[in-house]
Every structure is written in C-alpha cells, then in structure tokens.
Amino acid sequence: QKEVEQNSGPLSVPEGAIASLNCTYSDRGSQSFFWYRQYSGKSPELIMFIYSNGDKEDGRFTAQLNKASQYVSLLIRDSQPSDSATYLCAPREGFDNQGGKLIFGQGTELSVKP
Amino acid sequence: SAVISQKPSRDICQRGTSLTIQCQVDSQVTMMFWYRQQPGQSLTLIATANQGSEATYESGFVIDKFPISRPNLTFSTLTVSNMSPEDSSIYLCSVVTVTDTQYFGPGTRLTVL
C-alpha cells in the first residue's frame, strides 16, 4: 500500500510568516512530486511540482525534495490570508515521470491569521 | 496549462437513477483520469480513461457502476449508475498535459436523495 503522510493540521500562522507544509511518502519509485492548493468547495489547483533533490522556487513558494529521506515540503513565504486553504501533496507513482498516477495525502489545512 | 470544463457543475438526483458527467479539455492531453472526493476527504482515483479502449479501474471501482468513455484525446464521460446516497460526492476530471503536468477540472457536485 503506497502511502502519503501529511501534517494533519490545521496549521495556523500569522500573516507575513513562513508556513511550512511537510509530506513523507512510501513509494521509493516516485520521481516527481506535485503540490496542490484546494480552497473549500473548489477543485485542486496546481501550485508547483518538483523532480530533483533540493529546492525549487516559484514566487513565494519553495518546494524542497529529499528522495533519500522520502520527504517533500512546501514553504510559503510572506503568508497571506488568501493562502488559507488545504494543501495536498501528491507523489507520482512509479519509476518514471510520464503519466503515472498521483497518490494523494489527506492534506494539511492552513489558516493564515491577519 | 489546460482549460478543463465539466458538465454539469452540480446535480441532485434520485436514488436508482444514473448521471453522466462530461469532461472537455481545450488541448490534446496524454492522460485523463476520474477522481472522487467525498466530504472532508482527500481525492480517490476511480479510473484512468483510455482513448478508444476500456478504462482502467482502481480497486473498489467497477465498470458496471462507473462506465467511462474517451472517444478522443480531449473528451471523456463518467457515468454514475444506479445511484445511492453513498455516491454523493464531488467528481473530478483530471488531465496530464504534454508537459507532463496534471490539472483538475472544476468538479461536479452530486447529491443523491
């Protein structure tokens, strides 16, 4: 059974702080990792993805990947109330990056307080 | 990115009836999937919609209950058959683009009475 574990939350941070969202996964064959944001009542929205060990930055978001530790994280700098949502970590199953199934964690609810 | 539309956006149906959900994407994609998200839960993959052939179903989902078609690269349908209140959920179409990025449609919110 391939599993993805995320902080259950809710995670509460003050506006302007850094929010850190963590995810561990069991499938050693996973090579690509996706982060989605889901507002209540809406569908998941892709934030970013990462394939290589290390950091990948996109605006206020930084994804970090450590395949040896089977760990991926998402940092949100200068958090805003509009970042309040559930964040879903989704490793792609398998040993290649092409079209495999995503395995979803339960998500971490983030609340950014003004 | 890909622009995905789903019809209907929501529906209320009677027990024992069937509903067909359509998914249309604005560009050719390599893969299409159907997910279900029950209230307060994460996403569960129902099946992979294969063009021109039978869908590939995940454990716990069967073709008789969730028939799927994908006649071309940009369109797919999911039917929820013989519905019961337990089928009340959000159904999401998802696609993988040629850049190997996966996006979700807006979802169909189904309530079964």
Over the stretch B38-65, which tens digit does the pLDDT of each residue have?
988 999 999 999 988 899 999 999 999 9
**CB B42 to CB A107 under 8 A?**
yes
- Strand ranges (E), A1-114: 4-6, 11-14, 19-25, 33-38, 45-50, 54-58, 61-66, 71-76, 85-91, 108-113
Which two structure tokens, joined as six digits, stand for A28? Answer: 């050693």
Distance, CA of A6 to CA of B49 (rounded, Å)? 28
B105 vs A contacts (CB less than 8 Å)? 43
Residues from chain B that touch A88, judged by Cβ atoms under 8 A, are 42-43
Q: Which residues 4-63 in chain B show a CB within 8 A of chain A?
A: 30-31, 33, 41-43, 45, 48
Give the integer Cα–Cα distance in Å for B4 and B94: 8
| Nearest Cα to Cα of residue B48 among A29, A2, A102 | A102
- Which chain A residues contact residue B104 at CB under 8 A? 36, 43-46
Q: Which candidate from A42, A43, A99 shows the least CB-CB separation from B96?
A: A99
**How far apart (Å, rounded) are the C-alpha atoms in residues A110 and A12?**
6
Nearest to B107 among A43, A88, A97 (CB): A43
- Tell if the CB–CB gap between A45 and B42 is shorter than 8 Å: no
Q: What pLDDT score does A98 carry?
A: 54
Helix (H) / strand (E) element for B89: namely strand B89-96
Residue pairs between chains A and B whose CB atoms are closer than 8 Å: 41
**DSSP code, position B105:** -
Q: What's the rounded Cα separation, in Å, for the pair A9 and A43?
A: 20
Cis geometry, peptide bond prior to residue B39 (ω within 30 degrees of 0): no
What are the pLDDT tens digits along chain B (113 aa)?
889 999 999 999 999 999 999 999 999 898 999 999 998 899 999 999 998 889 999 999 999 999 999 999 999 999 999 999 999 999 999 999 988 899 999 999 999 99
Of B33, B90, B100, the CB nearest to A98: B100
Judge whether residue A97 has pLDDT over 80.
no
